[in-house]
Amino acid sequence: MTQEVKDKNKFQLVIVAILVGWFLTIGNFVWAAASKDTQYIYRLDTIEKELEDLDSRLDTAETFRLDIRADLAEIKTDLIWIRKELEQGR
């Protein structure tokens, strides 16, 4: 092989190496962006699920609070009735 053929082969290998390097670099950037996007989507899904759970718990707490309020109103009514009965019995 002549020197010219050897130089041409080296040049082709250099070009291939440069192209492979650029391909790997661009692939790495794409992979990193996709990975970050996936992480953010997972985090958002997790936050949305927690928000739905908290909303459900808040609804349950509100229902419980209304039940307690109704029970306390009944107790107050009973206490007023008992006081009137005791006052009439004097």
pLDDT tens per residue across span 36-76: 888 999 999 999 999 999 999 999 999 999 999 999 999 99
* Sequential DSSP letters for 10-34: HHHHHHHHHHHHHHHHHHHHHHHHH
Whole-number Å distance between alpha carbons of 51 and 54 = 5
Whole-number Å distance between alpha carbons of 64 and 29 = 52
* φ, ψ dihedrals at 2, nearest 5°: -85, 165
Mean of the per-residue pLDDT values of the chain: 92
Closest CA to 20 of 10, 28, 9, 8: 28
pLDDT for residue 7: 77
